[in-house]
Structure 1
Amino acid sequence: MAIIDLQAASGETILPLPRYDVCIVGSGPAGATLARELSNADLSVLLLESGGRERSAEIDALNEIENVGRPRAGDQWSVRNRILGGSSHTWGGRCGPFDAIDFEHRDWVAHSGWPISPGDIAPYMDRSAAHLGLAIGNGYSDQRFWSIARRPAPQKDVDPSLLLPFFWQFSRDDAESYPFEYMRFGRHIQKHLGSNVTVLTGATVLQVLSNTSRSSVTGLEFATLDGRRLKVAAASIVLCAGGIENARLLLNSGPPDRPGLGNDRDQVGRYLMDHLRGPTAFFKLSGSARLQRRFGRYNVQGRFFRAGLRLSPAVQRQERLLNCAAWLGEVLAPDDPWDALRRVAARKPRLPQDVLSLLRNSPLLLRGAMDYFGARNGMPRKLQQLTLDCMCEQMPDPDSRVTLSERRDRLGMRLPKVDWRSHPDEARTMHRMTGLIADEFARMGFPRPELAEWVRDRAPLPPDFIDVAHPTGTTRMSTDPGKGVVDANCEVHGVEGLFVSGSSVFPTAGHCNPTQMIVAMAIRLADHLKGRQSLELPLEVMADVG
């Protein structure tokens, strides 16, 4: 495998091949997984990444958006990373499978329903564990957790007609010196990719090239920051650039008087969803130790799992609610010693503050070691606040969307104009979820939390519930080209050889963090691509690209 830095290279003959079987745009969890799964196959693969090995302010600026909808994160680096490894640089490592109900058509959730089933994706969830550094890929998020953890199930539990247990698993990179570092897909990319894969950094894709009839792809046009524009021919192209950028690339592809590649039915960019997440109730720290142990972290096979709750399918159907999950949110004290220990282990201590924090909180560190190695729990943190945090799926809305702004970036690409919308059903679901948990905790003998004012008053969502780096749905899967962008194999309707991977193909977002599903779907797509016959491009295509 070769890594070529386009920014440092010169000339137009830098690529080993003039044409590739598969070109992958983006090196985050989707793109890196796809390239790894295609390694050593009988396919030539080119992986293009806009950024390089290190973060660059000039590259970061290419992520600028024009926001005309609900408030979104001001710092785009917190949600979108143009760097080798993509958004795995800033993700929180939390993994979990979608619920069976997420795949169903629900008559109270407009535009719901996936063209694939939980059984279709289950084998790929199992295979995702190796990519994400998980102890187990599937079957760990419900009551089966207790047998996996070799622990007795709690004698008292929530009413399963209302709420169900849920367990998230945290990614771990065993190759890193810090034992709880999440998988960062760019760090070890060279050792995971085969000789048939070329990685090109500093290559910002501008558009997908197609034949005259726009019925099949021919290649890509990409550029460097200094304005050089290059093209590469390809039989298949996979966009793995995230929910905002995948839509932007399709909309920017083709002549300005056409609706964008794959957008003849005006579906590209629609159904933009994210996760609405934030505190809905608050606990007193005093007297919360038993609650924190029961609904805290667990150490299983050297991996952290976090316990929480989700709405039961029964109550979702009965009360026409969206899917929603909740867990104990921890606001760390400024002198939490575990953050200090992490910086010391990474040889980046803040002196003298970190040393003082470690000395002052040595009893907590000792208890943490005993909990981790003895009771097999998570490390106790020093908190200044304990909250109940909820995360709710959004109602798919065709008017919540990404279009193109009249403004352009330094490479001449039109910026994405983001009109992200929320809906009353999302607030109603979080109100109900919080009330159910407060009642069930009281029944089980745990402290009853104080409801947040907006929950108590049944008010709309607070404006500080912004996006959490889970942009979903803008190139959604559908068997009907009039209701989505890609088919069940993630190929763009009507454009042969053009595929999309990532959360932008999800028809609904569920309550769960999307990364494990993104990786599983990328593995599934890789199997599909390996099953396709590698075709020689016709002479007309080579002429178009050249």
Structure 2
Amino acid sequence: MAVIDLHSEPGASIFPLLRCDLCIVGSGPAGATIARELSSARLNIVLLESGRTERSAQIDELDAIENIGRPRARDQWSVRNRILGGSSHTWGGRCAGFDAIDFQERPWVAGSGWPLKVEEIDPFLDRSASHLGLAMGRGFSDERFWDIAGRTPPRKEVDPSLLLPFFWQFSRDEAESYPFEYMRFGRHLRQHLGENTTLVTGATALRVLSVESDTSVQGVEFATLDGRKHTLTASAVVLCAGGIENARILLNSGTGGRNGLGNGRDQIGRYLMDHLRGPTAFFQLPGSGPVQRRFGRYNVQNHFFRAGLRLSPAIQQREKLLNCAGWLGEAVAPDDPWDALRRFYAKKPRLPQDVVSLVRNSALLLRGAKDYFGARNGLPRKLLELTLDCMCEQVPDPDSRITLSEHCDRFGMRLPKVDWRSHPDEARTMHRMAELITAEFDRIGLPKPILAEWVRDKAPIPATFVDVAHPTGTTRMSTDPSKGVVDSNCEVHGVAGLFVSGSSVFPTAGHCNPTQMIVAMAIRLADHLRSRPYKSAPVEIIANAG
């Protein structure tokens, strides 16, 4: 594997001769997975990454947006990372596959339905485990968890016609010395890439290049921070740059003044979804031990799992609700001893505060050791607040969308204009979820939370519930080109050789974090890319004055 860092060598005029069958744009979970899966394929691959191995303020500026819709995270780094490994730098490690109902066409959810069935995704969820550092790829998210964990199920459980148990598994990077570090896709990427792959960092993709008719790709135009623009010719291109940037690149592409590449039916950028997530109820900390033990963390095969609940398909259909999940949210105290211990482990302690935290909270450390090694649970944290957090899927709305702003970035490319929208059904679903959990906890003898004011008043979802780094749907999958951007193989309708990977191809967002589904779908796409024919002409990366 070759590595070219264009940030450290920005003045290079001609880069090494490459035979590029496939260009992958973006090295986050989707791009890194495809590159790894194809490392033994008989293809010459170039992996372009806008960032480098370290964060850069200049590169961060390229994530600027113009927001005209629902409030979004002010710090784009918290939701989008231009760096080797992409947004796995700031993800929370939660993994789970989507529910069967997420793939179905639901009459009460306009625009729902995937061109795939859950059974078609299962083999790729299994294969995703090695990429994500999971104990297993599927079969852990429902009541089967208790057998997997070797534990007796709770004596009293919630009514399954209303709520179902759900478990998230946390990613683990076993190559790291810190035992609870999540998989950061850029950290070990180079050792997983084959000799057929060239990794180019400091290369910001600007547009996809196509033939004059826009019916097939020719390559990618990219730029270095010094403003120079370059052309990489390729037989096929896969955009793996995230839900916002995938749409922006396509909208900035195309020839003859067209409104984007592959956008003849005005579908690119539409159906923008994320996850609305936040507290719906609050627990009193004194006496909350039983609910913390039942819905806390579990240690299984040296992997952490987290327990929660989701709406049953029966009540979703009966009450025309969206899919939604709930779990315990923890506001950790500033002097939590486990955070202090982690900083000591990383050799970055805050002195003398961390020493004081360890001494004052030694009893909590002792209990945590017993919980972890004895009861095989997670580590108890010192909390300021314990909440019932819910996360709800969004209505697929074609008017919730990304278009292009009149403002441009340093390369003269138009910024994404984001018009993210929320809907009454999302608030109604979260109200109902909180009410059901509160009533069921009371019925089975668990501490009953106090509903948040906005839930009691049946008010809209608070503006403080901003996007949570799960942009979805802007290049959605559909067998009908008038209703989506890519087909069931993630190839852009009408543009041969142009593919998109990541959550932007998801027709619906489900209730759970998207990363495992992103990786599973990337593996599926890699299998398809391996089997398709390619031109075998040599290709140069040629520097042009920009």
Task: Name the residue aligned to 1:317.
Answer: 317
Task: Name the residue aligned to 2:126.
Answer: 126
SS of the counterpart of 2:127?
Answer: helix
Deviation by residue 1:56-103 (Cα, 9 ceiling, x = unmatched): 000000000000000000000000000000000000000011000000
SS of the counterpart of 2:388?
Answer: strand
Task: Name the residue aligned to 1:13.
Answer: 14
Q: Number of matched residues?
A: 543
Q: Which moved more, 1:256-265 or 1:464-473?
A: 256-265
Aligned partners of 1:206, 1:531: CA distance in 2, in Å?
28
Task: Name the residue aligned to 2:98.
Answer: 98
What one-letter code is carried by the residue in structure 2 that aligns with 1:248?
R
Is 1:155 paired with 2:155? Answer: yes
Aligned partners of 1:37, 1:328: CA distance in 2, in Å?
36
Show the 5 A alignment for 1:151-190.
Answer: 151-190=151-190
Q: Report how far residue 447 of structure 1 moved.
A: 1.2
What one-letter code is carried by the residue in structure 2 that aligns with 1:273?
M
Task: Name the residue aligned to 1:458.
Answer: 458
Q: Report how far residue 255 of structure 1 moved.
A: 4.0
Task: Name the residue aligned to 1:249.
Answer: 249
Percent of counterpart pairs with the same letter?
74
Show the 5 A alignment for 1:231-242.
Answer: 231-242=231-242
Deviation by residue 1:276-333 (Cα, 9 ceiling, x = unmatched): 0000000000011011000100000111100000000000000000000000100111
Is 1:429 paired with 2:455? Answer: no
Answer yes or no: is the 8 Å Cα contact 1:169–1:303 preserved in 2.
yes
Q: Report how far residue 487 of structure 1 moved.
A: 0.2
Is 1:57 paired with 2:57? Answer: yes
Aligned partners of 1:348, 1:236: CA distance in 2, in Å?
44
Is 1:296 paired with 2:277? Answer: no
Aligned partners of 1:53, 1:128: CA distance in 2, in Å?
24
Q: Report how far residue 465 of structure 1 moved.
A: 0.5
Answer yes or no: is the 8 Å Cα contact 1:280–1:452 preserved in 2.
yes
Task: Name the residue aligned to 2:365.
Answer: 365
Deviation by residue 1:357-403 (Cα, 9 ceiling, x = unmatched): 11111111111111011100000000011000000000000000000
Show the 5 A alignment for 1:267-286.
Answer: 267-286=267-286
What one-letter code is carried by the residue in structure 2 that aligns with 1:383?
L
Answer yes or no: is the 8 Å Cα contact 1:233–1:542 preserved in 2.
yes
Task: Name the residue aligned to 1:354.
Answer: 354
Q: Report how far residue 537 of structure 1 moved.
A: 5.5
Answer yes or no: is the 8 Å Cα contact 2:210–2:255 preserved in 1.
no
Answer yes or no: is the 8 Å Cα contact 2:212–2:255 preserved in 1.
no
Q: Report how far residue 8 of structure 1 moved.
A: 1.8
Aligned partners of 2:157, 2:328: CA distance in 1, in Å?
16
Aligned partners of 1:11, 1:520: CA distance in 2, in Å?
37
What one-letter code is carried by the residue in structure 1 that aligns with 2:13?
E
Task: Name the residue aligned to 2:388.
Answer: 388
Q: Report how far residue 257 of structure 1 moved.
A: 2.3
Aligned partners of 2:7, 2:231: CA distance in 1, in Å?
15
What one-letter code is carried by the residue in structure 1 that aligns with 2:365?
L
Q: CA RMSD, aligned part only?
A: 1.6
Answer yes or no: is the 8 Å Cα contact 1:492–1:500 preserved in 2.
yes
SS of the counterpart of 2:182?
Answer: coil
Task: Name the residue aligned to 2:200.
Answer: 200
SS of the counterpart of 1:521?
Answer: helix
Q: Report how far residue 190 of structure 1 moved.
A: 1.2
Answer yes or no: is the 8 Å Cα contact 1:322–1:426 preserved in 2.
yes
Task: Name the residue aligned to 1:84.
Answer: 84
SS of the counterpart of 2:234?
Answer: strand
Answer yes or no: is the 8 Å Cα contact 1:12–1:230 preserved in 2.
no
Show the 5 A alignment for 1:501-512.
Answer: 501-512=501-512
Q: Report how far residue 213 of structure 1 moved.
A: 0.8
Q: Which moved more, 1:428-437 or 1:355-364?
A: 355-364
SS of the counterpart of 1:3?
Answer: strand
Task: Name the residue aligned to 2:265.
Answer: 265
SS of the counterpart of 1:432?
Answer: helix
Answer yes or no: is the 8 Å Cα contact 2:15–2:541 preserved in 1.
no
What one-letter code is carried by the residue in structure 2 that aligns with 1:136?
M
Q: Report how far residue 11 of structure 1 moved.
A: 2.5
Answer yes or no: is the 8 Å Cα contact 2:30–2:519 preserved in 1.
yes
Q: Report how far residue 533 of structure 1 moved.
A: 1.9
Aligned partners of 1:177, 1:267: CA distance in 2, in Å?
45
Unpaired stretches in structure 1, ≥5 consecutive residues: none
Answer yes or no: is the 8 Å Cα contact 2:70–2:422 preserved in 1.
yes
Runs ≥4 in structure 1, deviation > 4 angstroms? none
Answer yes or no: is the 8 Å Cα contact 1:62–1:409 preserved in 2.
yes
Aligned partners of 1:215, 1:509: CA distance in 2, in Å?
29
Task: Name the residue aligned to 2:485.
Answer: 485
Distance change >3 Å, CA 120–CA 400, structure 1 → 2: same
TM-score w.r.t. structure 2 length? 0.98
Aligned partners of 2:148, 2:16: CA distance in 1, in Å?
48
Q: Report how far residue 254 of structure 1 moved.
A: 2.3
SS of the counterpart of 2:480?
Answer: coil
What one-letter code is carried by the residue in structure 1 that aligns with 2:376?
R
Unpaired stretches in structure 2, ≥5 consecutive residues: none
Answer yes or no: is the 8 Å Cα contact 1:30–1:501 preserved in 2.
yes
Q: Report how far residue 538 of structure 1 moved.
A: 11
Aligned partners of 2:303, 2:204: CA distance in 1, in Å?
36
Aligned partners of 1:328, 1:372: CA distance in 2, in Å?
19
Answer yes or no: is the 8 Å Cα contact 2:17–2:538 preserved in 1.
no
Distance change >3 Å, CA 538–CA 92, structure 1 → 2: closer
Aligned partners of 2:15, 2:172: CA distance in 1, in Å?
36
Aligned partners of 2:338, 2:473: CA distance in 1, in Å?
37
Q: Report how far residue 12 of structure 1 moved.
A: 3.2
What one-letter code is carried by the residue in structure 2 that aligns with 1:190?
R
What one-letter code is carried by the residue in structure 1 that aligns with 2:179?
P
Answer yes or no: is the 8 Å Cα contact 1:236–1:497 preserved in 2.
yes
What one-letter code is carried by the residue in structure 2 that aligns with 1:79?
V
Aligned partners of 2:400, 2:536: CA distance in 1, in Å?
40
Task: Name the residue aligned to 1:306.
Answer: 306
Aligned partners of 1:179, 1:411: CA distance in 2, in Å?
41
